[in-house]
Copies of this chain bind each other. A is one copy, B any other.
Amino acid sequence: MSEQARQLCELKAEIFAAAGHPIRMAIIEFLRDGEKCVCQIAAYIGAERSNVSRHLAVMLQAGLVKHEKQGLKMIYSLTTPCILGFLECVTSVLRQRAEETRAVLENL
């Protein structure tokens, strides 16, 4: 495995990890509706603003979201629409798992 491939894996893993937390996943889902400020996100999720702000910083660093200041508020939005394609895939994985589980249960 080449050093370059290793570094590429680190970058890709960083992006996945940036979505790999319940709160951050909830943020992504919430931002599907459109751009939101930190306080809206925190209210929706029911978490501390400081905590949400830190999670957003992780996502910003990974390139999952972008932000823009509007007066008092910092508005966050998703960067790339293909992130939503991610989610459909994940949902299909979950659906598949659910069906497998059901199949197992039916054979009891």
Which A positions have Cβ atoms within 8 angstroms of B? 1, 5-6, 8-26, 29, 44-46, 63-64, 79-80, 82-83, 85-94, 96-97
Contacts and interface: CB of A to CB of B under 8 A. Distances in A.
A1 B45 contact: yes
Contacts of A89: 80, 82-83, 85-86
Contact of A91 (B12, B20, B29, B88): B12
Nearest to A44: B1
A89 B95 CA distance: 21
Contact of A92 (B18, B24, B80): B80
Given A16-B25, A16-B86, A83-B93, 14 more contacts: A1-B46, A6-B22, A8-B94, A9-B23, A9-B26, A11-B94, A15-B20, A15-B90, A15-B94, A16-B90, A20-B20, A63-B96, A80-B96, A83-B89
